[in-house]
Structure 1
Amino acid sequence: MRVLRAAGYKSMPWKNGGGVTTEIAVSPADAGLDTFDWRVSMARVEGSGPFSSFAGIDRTLSVLEGEGIILDVAGEPPACLTAASAPFSFPADRPTSAELIAGPITDLNVMTRRGRMRHSVERLVMSNPLEIGIESRATLVLCLGGEVLVSAAEPIRLSHLDALLTASATAGLRIKPIDHPTVFVVRIDGIRPND
């Protein structure tokens, strides 16, 4: 297990130069925008406009803070995303534009290389302890608001925007909420040739 503290995340320009993204985790380590297998990041969206295009990438977007955003993905009906919405998945190489509903937002982006990796994202509002099974190659738990306590040999406390990254060999996680947090559970798996 690796604890990823919000204060240690790396910030960099968007691929299209229109803003700044904050990288939470990437594989392989230190991979660039054209070479990652998977990537989890946050972005502050200050204005409406086009999204960066990523060839061969599948993407899931969730709103963390702000009133929300309307995504227009080519070939799909417009999707209205708010902080209460389920995560929204779409191909990152399809032309996509966004319109802010009322002011800036912060979003969570999960991206995997199509044909090599796949992912799922779950948003959970916590009021009771939670057991998370670890069957995936990698599982990332991001804490939003409040705090959580993760059971381990030495309990791990995650505060707002801290994350925990685990490998498939890890036993399940027991997470106890403090101050009614929301957690995002990101599961990432490799794809076998016959999948």
Structure 2
Amino acid sequence: MNALRIIRASRCPDLPWKNGGGTTREIAVFPPGAGMEDFLWRLSMANVERPGPFSHFDGVDRVLAVLEGTLHLTGPALDAALDPGSDPLAFAADQPVDGAPIGGPVRDLNAMVRRSAFTVRMVRLQAGERAECPDAVNYFLALEAQQLAGEALAAFDCAQVSGALTCEGAALLVSFVAIRA
């Protein structure tokens, strides 16, 4: 594995949503310092505390994985209950989607891209699994405490990675790929 940059979950500020239904922790955004209206890609963790609509983003695609709890998503051609064992779910962020936590609060990982500029891929990795990080911007989110390239990661810590890696525990790998004109 090449360069490794650690992003500790505990150091990402927990900010309330505008609708009061939860909070979000921004892990990374491009370009750096971009806001909700001008990002090209964004990676964040959210706590969903009560049912409500997802924010609408014109021209944006989203991939979501549940880290804790169960989240029921509904919308046009969408009716899915996601839990920590579910595959990440991709959907358009410019379509109406409602989310409802089932049985208590939910924590999720959310990756969003402007579909004119980037694509995003999110996959679950198991202990001992080897992954090749594509020619992209890649983030490894530890789902449990583990070592990655000699660095200790707590659950929900993230590392920006490149090259090949082997994980010691469950994780999610998120890859943002630029669309070439």
Runs of 5+ consecutive residues of structure 1 not aligned to the other structure: none
Q: Which residue in 1 is equivalent to 2:39?
A: 36
- 1:173 and 2:171 are equivalent in the alignment: no
* Contact 2:61 2:114 survives alignment (8 Å): yes
TM-score by length of 2: 0.91
Q: Report the aligned-residue RMSD.
A: 1.5
Q: Which residue in 2 is equivalent to 1:134?
A: 133
Q: Which is bigger in relative contact order (C-alpha 8 A, separation at least 6)?
A: 2
Matches within 5 A, 1:48-59: 48-59=51-62
3, 14, 18: which one pairs with 2:17?
A: 14
Higher strand share: 2
Compared CA separation, residues 137 and 15, structure 1 to 2 (3 A): farther
Give the drift of 1:16: 4.3
Pair member with larger Rg: 1
The alignment partner of 1:84 has SS state of coil
Give the drift of 1:17: 4.7
Give the drift of 1:143: 0.3
Q: Which residue in 2 is equivalent to 1:83?
A: 84
Q: Which residue in 1 is equivalent to 2:170?
A: 182
* CA–CA distance in structure 2, aligned partners of residues 62 and 49 of structure 1: 17
Identity among equivalent positions (%) equals 38
Moved over 2 A (4+): 10-19
TM-score by length of 1: 0.85
